[in-house]
Amino acid sequence: MPTTPGLPVRRAALRLLDAVFRRGETLEQAEGGALGDVRKAPDRALAKAIAGETLRWLTDLDALIDSATQQNLPDDAKARMVLRIMLAQALRLDTPAHAVIATGLPLLAGGPRRLAHGVFSALVKPGRSVLPEVPTMPEAVVARWGADKAAAIAPGLAFPPELDLALKDAAEAETRAVAMGGVTLAPRHVRLPRGAAVDSLADYKAGDWWVQDLAAQIPARLLGDGAGRHALDLCAAPGGKTMQLAASGWNVTALDSSKRRLELLKDNLKRTGLKASPVRADALTWEPKHRFDAILIDAPCTATGTCRRHPDVLHRIGARQIPEMVELQRALAAKAAEWLNPGGVLVYAVCSLEAEEGEEQAAWIDAECGLTPLPITAAELPASLAPTAEGWLRTHPGMLADEGGMDGFFVGRWVKR
């Protein structure tokens, strides 16, 4: 029997979501198995878009489903998950209702097709279903972050992010932004509309830029010009911050424990023509041959700050994962403090929105690592961003929402006297 056109894509989206909810995988980790029989790039992109929009709007999609059933479907019921992806297509991806039904109901072979058909049809009647302007955060996230913080972040999650580029040459930002149809929000930065194929953009092969979120570009900027001095990029792969440091004149040692990710870093260095010294090692057991004038720790973390591009973190990450990350982050910060030259600068950063991994870690470094705070100043930051009263930086996806938002980062800086 011939397969309904588009059905393999929806099956793949369902497998992606199953990997997130049942196995706790990220969408990226799940791609290999979930998209194995989906070969064409547009089809793979559609499967990921369906899964991503389902995760982004999950709380609101569930509220709609519950409003149309006499008895709530179990959270893990296949009929609920199929209805989620059907509604995500109709309400977020503008897929015609007949196409959604034709590719959605076959996913419930042997299941409650009539129920799913009835619920979906009722919800997509003209004027029947409207999603809010911004996604509703999951209850567990609101409980962890607080209602005010969650409400401030939510506007940044309504759409997938645009494409941020980091440039080798600071002098090119304005002209390159105009030439590429984008905008620049900081030195060495260009933002382009979402959906661009990266390897088809101007000067990709020339290596004049690389993809890196605006917030992720800030930590390396806070170390300034290197002038040939020695910097260590701890947990360096896939290399965005290493390339920033190298482009700013630092002699960079790029340390990472992952062979695969370190290969990506080497490929990026080769494409951009920038120089660094990659080292594969466990930072907790490695001993450097010399001390450093600057160390950048982009520490392993829960990565909840990347929720606008990776909405799975809103549903995978909970309070139980945070303590393990905190312990590792403290161990890395303690090592880094030992490896600094007198007068050397440490920048600690995490792409996390959890206070335990950000503000509380900075207070711990103040107290335990023998370093002196070196406050971040407003002049060092992109326009409209400001440091905290403590001289730290906290960003979140709701910031710069009118310009496309940014990832959530915490950044602190210290000097070794």
Structure tokens at 13: 């989206």
Q: For residues 329 and 284, what is the distance between their CA atoms, to the nearest angstrom?
A: 11
Cα-based angle 44, 48, 53 (whole degrees, multiple of 5): 150
**Residues designated catalytic:** 351
Q: For residues 178 and 62, what is the distance between their CA atoms, to the nearest angstrom?
A: 42
Residue 194, C-beta contacts closer than 8 angstroms, at least 6 positions apart: 159, 160, 161, 162, 163
- What does DSSP assign to residue 3? P
Question: b/e map of 211-226 (b: 16 or more CB within 10 Å)?
Answer: bbbbbbbbbbbbbeeb
Question: b/e map of 347-379 (b: 16 or more CB within 10 Å)?
Answer: bbbbbbbbbbbbbebbebbeeebebeebebeee
Q: Which residue has the tokens 């990350």?
A: 325
Q: For residues 56 and 45, what is the distance between their CA atoms, to the nearest angstrom?
A: 16
Cα–Cα distances in angstroms (integers) from residue 401 to residues 60, 158, 200, 294, 353, in the given order: 21, 10, 27, 32, 17
- Residue 214's nearest CA partner among 190, 250, 178 is 190
Q: Is 229 helix (H, G, I), strand (E, B) or coil?
A: coil
